[in-house]
Homo-oligomer: A and B are copies of this chain.
């Protein structure tokens, strides 16, 4: 495979040149998604959606293995439901899609208008999240402690009216799952909150190949209405933090708002303790920002829609039948192999197209292993392949039988390499920082032309005061989380110098 336009990369600009634009170009080059004619909404194209399907499959299995069942609740939330939980309103009821009419009619000047005679008595909100509408069901489903715990998950679309959008990372409509559970005791609900955070972290590390910090959000960063919000935070290649999933302990707040009450074993009426937790198509953005390079997407093998692409090189008609027969046989043999507990996914690209051009298409889409088969490979009984975690031009040759046996191991190795790279990047750009001067320097771009290049994650003391947290906002930095399970390390607050009990993570974030 010839190098893409000698000396150039397949994606332009490079990460170094313009990270934000590079991201958009990777999404485009890998054919993952595009902006739609509807402001802020995206079209998820087949290759992007296949990534989401793989994430869904794995996560859904994990949710079921932890006792959850799927259900489906209405897309619309009556306005009065949103008004029930005061801080929830504050956080969610602002920028949202409001349905006010239920009919269109021909307007006076042609075209259609919302029928003034079909105005809804109570406006409906397109769900930005479903605590309130699911709470209404839970209130009906629960009457005794025997009905608890209630462990429900929903796969759905949600809408939050966003002013500035970026494909996958922040869009007006996005796809997600939202878990909602109700428990008889605070302890059980807390346990669930932590359990699901662990599920997310496990998924991020083992499937997305994404090292994450598990932590607790500060009060200022909590989900509106939650008592506690847990988060997994990743560092992507421009050293910013990306929140990848959250798990909320809602205490009895939503149970009070929705009336989720039960008769306890001691025959007392009590309010349930609830949790909610979610991850979204944003994870596709995390995958891109973490693993893609200047040649396009790099997909961790465990989530790859295709593990390997076979490209017959059909330069002349005479060799075509032999090459195609060899490719077919190779495909047949590979189909019997398994990787990560599922059959290998094999793409055969026999389109008539220059070999180089075709190869680059699959580089940009991030398929873990690319195989080109020409007449010489057929004669030699060999396979010439390239790995997406190595430079595009680096090819290796193996005997066919050996390749079939080796492929699952190669995929494992690629998966591990991606995780190790991301872990290395994160540790290289994580610092313990103890003074405000160092903190400010860490987060101040060295090159004013390239404001995106800054320090990374600062591990600093924090006294717990909102004012000190807010001081970081001056540098466009936020408190990402208070890591769980970290050693308590007495020190002083990086903003005010008063005593602090532990180091927390500060970073710029998406």
Contacts and interface: CB of A to CB of B under 8 A. Distances in A.
Given A41-B75, A157-B75, A70 B46 contact: yes
Contacts of A83: 111-112
Given A93-B104, A99-B99, A76 B41 contact: yes
Interface in A9-64: 34, 36-38, 41-46, 49-50, 52-53
A500 interface: no
A190 interface: no
Nearest to A156: B157
A58 to B, nearest CB: 15
Interface in A100-132: 100-105, 111-114, 123-126
A149 B136 CA distance: 46
A161 B98 contact: no
Interface residues of A, number: 62
Given A75-B157, A112-B89, A133 B38 contact: yes
Which among A77, A101, A140 has the highest number of chain B CB atoms within 10 Å? A101
Given A152-B46, A157-B157, A73 B103 contact: no
B133 A36 contact: yes
Contacts of A448: none
A77 to B, nearest CB: 7
Given A104-B125, A112-B89, A71 B45 contact: yes
A75 B161 contact: no
B78 A104 contact: no
Given A77-B38, A89-B112, A133-B38, A71 B99 contact: no
Given A93-B112, A137-B36, A41 B104 contact: no
B95 A98 contact: no
A510 interface: no
Contacts of A140: 34
Interface string A148-180: 000010001101010000000000010100000
A130 B113 CA distance: 20
Contacts of A103: 94-96, 98, 161
Given A83-B111, A112-B83, A98 B100 contact: yes
Contact of A75 (B49, B69, B96, B159): B159
A79 B97 contact: no
B96 A102 contact: yes
A464 B106 CA distance: 32
Nearest to A159: B75
B98 A99 contact: yes
A34 B173 CA distance: 26
A100 B125 CA distance: 11
A74 B76 CA distance: 16
A99 B137 CA distance: 25
Nearest to A171: B74
Contacts of A102: 95-98, 161
A43 B137 contact: yes
Given A100-B98, A112-B93, A74 B36 contact: yes
A52 B94 CA distance: 34
A138 to B, nearest CB: 10
Contacts of A70: 46, 49-50, 53
Nearest to A60: B53
B44 A71 contact: yes
Contact of A126 (B45, B46, B126, B137): B126
Nearest to A158: B75
Contacts of A136: 36-37
A126 B42 CA distance: 15
A38 B78 CA distance: 7
A71 B49 contact: yes
A339 interface: no
A258 to B, nearest CB: 11
Given A69-B50, A83-B112, A112-B83, A38 B76 contact: yes
B104 A98 contact: yes
A235 interface: no
The 9 A-B pairs at the shortest CB distance, nearest first, are namely A41-B74, A46-B69, A44-B72, A98-B101, A38-B74, A102-B161, A98-B114, A97-B99, A100-B100
20 contacts: A34-B137, A44-B71, A46-B69, A49-B71, A74-B173, A76-B173, A80-B111, A83-B112, A89-B112, A94-B103, A94-B104, A94-B105, A95-B102, A95-B103, A97-B101, A99-B100, A100-B114, A104-B123, A113-B123, A114-B123
